[in-house]
Amino acid sequence: MSKRHNWSIPYFVFMVLFVVLPLLLVAVYAFQDGNGRFTFANIVRFFSDSNALSTFALSIEVAIENTVLCILIGYPAAWLLANRKYNRSAVTIILFILPMWINALMRTLATAELFNILGVQLGKGTLLYGMVYDYLPFMIYPIYTILQKMDKSYAEAAEDLGATPSQVFWKVTVPLSMPGVRSGILMVFMPTVSTFAISEFLTNNKIKLFGTIIQENINSSMWNYGAALALIMLLIIGISTLFNKNDGEEAESSLI
Amino acid sequence: MVNRDVIIDIRHLSKSFGDKKVLDDINFYIRRGEFITLLGPSGCGKTTTLRIIAGFVEPTEGQVLLDGKDISGIPPYQRPLNTVFQRYALFPHLDVYDNIAFGLKLKNVPEDEIDKKVRKVLKLVSMSDYESRDVDSLSGGQQQRVAIARALVNQPKVLLLDEPLAALDLKMRKDMQIELKEMHEKLGITFIYVTHDQEEALTLSDTIVVMNEGKIQQIGTPTDIYNEPQNEFVADFIGESNILNGTMLCDRKVNFVDHDFDCVDEGFGENVPVDVVVRPEDVEIRKDQSKAEFFGTVSSCTFKGVFYQIFVNTETGFELMVQNYRKYDVGEKVGMQIQPGNIQVMRKPRIRNTFNGEIIDNTHVCFLGESFECKPTELKAGTEVKVEVEFKNIDLQDHQEEGTVNGEVHFILYKGDHYHLTVLTESGEHVYVDTQDIWDKGDLVGINIAARDIKIGKIDE
Amino acid sequence: MKKFLAQTYLWILLILLYAPLIFIAIFSFTEARVLGNWTGFSTQLYENLFTGNVNGSASLISAVRNTFIIAIVAALISTVLGTLAAIGIHNLRGRKKSTMLFLNNIPMLNPDIITGVSLFLLFVFLRISQGYATVVLAHVTFCTPYVVLSVLPRITQLSPNTYEAALDLGATPMQALWKVIVPQLRPGMVSGFFLAFTMSLDDFAVTFFTRGTIGLDTLSTFIYTDARKGGLTPELRPLMTLIFLIILILLVIINVRQAKQQNSIKNK
């Protein structure tokens, strides 16, 4: 048993090679010019390019709006689903997470097509609708899980101490379900900052998000500038993860 | 010389996990066919000893001889020993039959022979109809039987049992004790049994090895251990007892609870401080006070199922625990008597604290890793000295920061009119304290010693 | 009344969630090349999908095949690597353990596009030509952490001493592992495998950046390029409908079985 810890060595080597080294390369490429010389030019180019900056700001804005909408729509849904008074069947929650298993691009395309048929102009509105549509299950599920596991006696104790149903909800249920909300935020916010296919489909490429310009630069062989943009995104992700310390694991493992 | 009668010989076994020494020079041997029990509180090293014998733990020092041959270095799967684990460790993915057949299948025993052996052993543990049951569906007692069967089917030279009954309820435990004893007699295999339950050990064993803090305290038959405990620890751990300070006046004469008693012990010398152990059932108590040796007042009387447990305050201010079949009223005056043969006298391991110290300056001495103020001394700084402090002169504080040295209450002994505590300091030394205050095991305390109570002496060569 | 409002709310959400899927399903039964045109009921698209003899649908079928092959290979490798790693991590202590767990979290928290771009740069840097192998490697990178996380709790829950009991009964360490530990870890490995499998099936961004220029397509990249070209290959409609049905049936079966198991545990 004593030598068993060595079994993690292959994975460690694998991780260093395929996770750590690639991330370091992103940083290295970000500070190089096309000939491999050290430069700040890529970073400077981003901060002096008003187009890139406004795309960046728009991406953050859309991601925040999407996250807020997902909470506003998803929390009540999760609460209703976890409440025995309104939902007795475990199948309903399956219905809510089932679309997660269908190819997201296909669903997004179908949504765009539906808008076309209904004659809705593709733009920021349809983009947000599509984002909420794609990511809502990721908000509902962690909140539902935590609400469902929550000990009913907390609410009963609060009632016993004289809290009205709405006070029970705001002062007991909501605070206790915050870890679920935080995991939900992590699972919605981060993918929305980085997505590119969804925005391309749902706005007919009229609105570009940050992910799209990373993709365009990499695909047109502008690796160094692409890497610099990726590095900036990585910093954003790193910062938002720090705010959610430990919840990341919960969020991901709640899916298992 | 190889003694044919000895199957396992444990020599100078020591084991440390990091800095912590869990076994300290353990020596004992096990006779062929014997039922031997390693008994002690949790953390005493009994399970580690068993795991070293089984091969799961490598000793830091020492040897285990099996039939005269050193088996250190032989992996567990090549040792002719089998273990019954504390929580059974049955394989949850296999049914009862496959659990038992596991070892035989690995040895490529032919199918029909496996079948015969498994059925035979199932019968032995009275589980014949359970072959194809899922192990998770069995009760604790049934799982226990399967675990025993799984070990026995391999016909081990020695069966190791690691607290096998600890997870069962009381009734089940009593039944299984009887069954284990019968099984041992029927099979003639050597059993090494580990438990913290002294009653279990007394019931089952041919020989008991009492352990504490990695050391053997006493080895003997159950009656030896019960009737003639060799030290305070054994007396306190095995059964109920009154442990009291006494003075050996001369041969066959001992004073305790401020009263002179006749006893049967000799050779201690005259006026020597000793510890006296009297079992509560050996204190004869009666309402008729004319035939009594000493007197007291009943302070409590509790029915314990078979007998009453009575606490009596003697006229001389000691509290004694007494067991009797009759009920006594609180406040009742009683007379008591103890037969000379029922008084167990033990030499005191120490009569005061002795530490190694070093003079710092003419009013300070360093011991227990700290500097203490002491009475002015002529000795030069740096001189190594012997520091003595009486048990009653150690002052314990509730808060560690109020003490010069910090420690943890490690062992508590009630001595009739005071408590005798063993405090383990942060430097790993023992400090012995007599106190009237009630402490709990594990309490963190600060230790203070007044300057006038520190006696400094030269180290005797 | 409250209950009525609650259920209306849930139903509206469900209808909105399923509208595009139902939309695709309906239009899988007509021949029109453009989604949304109804040219009469037909099962022609289903036939095309299975025979693959209409242009476009052949490459669709090969994309589907690629998707499944990549997912199965990546999930198998991830399961083996992740299980070994989980056993190793379980036996690590202190700093080393938390470092491994931290490393294990990175691919899960990394957005797909970062994983994709960083691996793309790695392959460019090492001058490895991209294709099947690089896509599988990339998928193993983001799938293995999920296997580790689903096997780890199983190791913690291992019934105590069973490994030692096996040694005690004469099993060598390898035999003990294979006959006693692996069977107990199997449920965690299986769920880890399926998680890895679905993650791989669903991936778009990582595949997009690591598939190179040899024309390797998975379902996701096929749809993406298809959509960028303008028209969607109509055979995608019956394909999506079928996938949806299969997943629905699988999920229902799994959940019914789980519910039964839980009931039987409760009844004990």
C21 vs A contacts (CB less than 8 Å):
99, 102, 107, 110
Q: What is the mean pLDDT of residues C2-15?
A: 87
Provide the whole-model pTM.
0.75
- % pLDDT > 90, chain A: 9
Residues 6+ apart with CB under 8 A from C115: A22, C107, C138, C141, C142, C205, C206
Q: Is A174 on the interface with C (CB under 8 A)?
A: no
Q: Which among C23, C120, C243 has CB closest to A102?
A: C243
Q: What is the mean pLDDT of residues A144-155?
A: 83
A12 vs C contacts (CB less than 8 Å):
85, 100, 103
Question: Cβ distance C31 to C39 under 8 Å?
Answer: yes
Kindly indicate the confidence band of residue A215, based on its pLDDT and cuts at 50, 70 and 90.
confident
**Yes or no, beta carbons of C92 and A102 under 8 Å apart:** no
**Yes or no, beta carbons of C204 and A215 under 8 Å apart:** no
Q: Is B149 on the interface with C (CB under 8 A)?
A: no
Q: DSSP labels for A23-91?
A: HHHHHHHHTB-TTS-B-SHHHHHHHH-HHHHHHHHHHHHHHHHHHHHHHHHHHHHHHHHH-TTT---TH
- Half-sphere exposure for B56 (CA within 13 Å, toward CB): 22
Measured in residues, chain C has a length of 268
- Torsion angle of the four alpha carbons B121, B122, B126, B132, in this order, in degrees rounded to the nearest 10: 170
**Yes or no, beta carbons of A226 and C117 under 8 Å apart:** yes
Q: Which among A86, A90, A105 has CB closest to C3?
A: A86
Q: Is B144 on the interface with C (CB under 8 A)?
A: no
For residue A161, the SS3 value is: coil
Question: Cβ distance C88 to C103 under 8 Å?
Answer: no
- Half-sphere exposure for A48 (CA within 13 Å, toward CB): 7
> Running DSSP on this structure, what letter comes out for residue B287?
S
Q: Is C182 on the interface with B (CB under 8 A)?
A: no
> Running DSSP on this structure, what letter comes out for residue A171?
I
Under 8 Å CB pairs connecting chains B and C tally to 75
Task: Supply the pLDDT for residue A256.
Answer: 41
Nearest chain C residue to A132 by CA: give it: C17
Place of tokens 């970073």: A43
Q: Give the Cα separation of C90 and C95 in Å (integer).
A: 13
Touching partners of B (3+ C-beta pairs < 8 Å): C
Q: Is B74 on the interface with C (CB under 8 A)?
A: no
**Which of B83, B148, B194 to mutate against chain C (most C CBs within 10 Å)?**
B83
ipTM: 0.81
Helix axes C57-91, C44-51, angle to 10 degrees: 70
Question: Cβ distance B414 to B367 under 8 Å?
Answer: no
Question: Cβ distance C92 to A5 under 8 Å?
Answer: yes
Task: Supply the pLDDT for residue A249.
Answer: 46
Question: Cβ distance B35 to B61 under 8 Å?
Answer: no
**Which of A3, A9, A15, A198 to mutate against chain C (most C CBs within 10 Å)?**
A15
C181 vs B contacts (CB less than 8 Å):
none
Query: Average pLDDT, whole number, for chain A?
Result: 82
Residues 216..235 of A with a Cβ closer than 8 Å to C: which?
A: 218, 223, 226-227, 230, 233-234
Q: What is the mean pLDDT of residues A9-23?
A: 91
Question: Can you list the residues of chain B whose pLDDT is less than 50?
Answer: 1
Under 8 Å CB pairs connecting chains A and C tally to 231
Q: Is A142 on the interface with C (CB under 8 A)?
A: no
B150 vs C contacts (CB less than 8 Å):
165, 169
B48 vs C contacts (CB less than 8 Å):
none
Q: Which among C161, C162, C167 has CB closest to B77?
A: C167
Task: Supply the pLDDT for residue A212.
Answer: 85
**Yes or no, beta carbons of A256 and C146 under 8 Å apart:** yes
Q: Is the pLDDT of residue C68 over 80?
A: yes
Stronger pLDDT, C72 or A215, i.e. the higher one: C72
Q: What is the mean pLDDT of residues C134-160?
A: 89
- Separation in Å, CA of C219 to nearest CA in chain A: 9
Task: Supply the pLDDT for residue B52.
Answer: 93
C179 vs B contacts (CB less than 8 Å):
102
Element (H, E) at B407: strand B405-414
Task: Supply the pLDDT for residue B32.
Answer: 92
Question: Cβ distance B22 to B62 under 8 Å?
Answer: no
Query: Average pLDDT, whole number, for chain C?
Result: 85
C93 vs B contacts (CB less than 8 Å):
none
- Separation in Å, CA of A5 to nearest CA in chain C: 4
**Yes or no, beta carbons of C88 and A5 under 8 Å apart:** yes
Q: Is C242 on the interface with B (CB under 8 A)?
A: no
Measured in residues, chain A has a length of 256
Kindly indicate the confidence band of residue C141, based on its pLDDT and cuts at 50, 70 and 90.
very high
Residues 19..78 of A with a Cβ closer than 8 Å to C: which?
A: 19-23, 25-26, 29, 73, 76-77
Q: Which among C19, C101, C232 has CB closest to A114?
A: C19
- % pLDDT > 70, chain A: 93
Other CB atoms within 10 Å distance of the CB of residue B53: 25
Q: Give the Cα separation of B89 and B104 in Å (integer).
A: 17
Q: What is the mean pLDDT of residues A151-158?
A: 80
Q: Give the Cα separation of C96 and B151 in Å (integer).
A: 37
A109 vs C contacts (CB less than 8 Å):
223, 227, 232
- % pLDDT > 90, chain C: 23
Q: Give the Cα separation of C130 and C214 in Å (integer).
A: 8
**Yes or no, beta carbons of C169 and B93 under 8 Å apart:** no
Task: Supply the pLDDT for residue C124.
Answer: 87
For residue B413, the SS3 value is: strand
Q: Give the Cα separation of B134 and B97 in Å (integer).
A: 9
> Running DSSP on this structure, what letter comes out for residue B66?
E
Q: Which among A20, A26, A195 has CB closest to C117?
A: A26
Task: Supply the pLDDT for residue B7.
Answer: 92
Phi, psi of A35 (to 5 degrees): -100, 10
> Running DSSP on this structure, what letter comes out for residue B134?
B
- Separation in Å, CA of B201 to nearest CA in chain C: 24
Q: Taking Cα atoms as reference points, which of B274, B280, B243 lies closest to residue B413?
A: B243
Structure tokens at C32: 């029109």
- As beta bridge partners, residue B457 has B386
**Yes or no, beta carbons of C113 and A196 under 8 Å apart:** yes
Task: Supply the pLDDT for residue A107.
Answer: 84
Q: Taking Cα atoms as reference points, which of B211, B371, B116, A247 lies closest to residue C105?
A: A247
Question: Cβ distance B39 to B196 under 8 Å?
Answer: yes
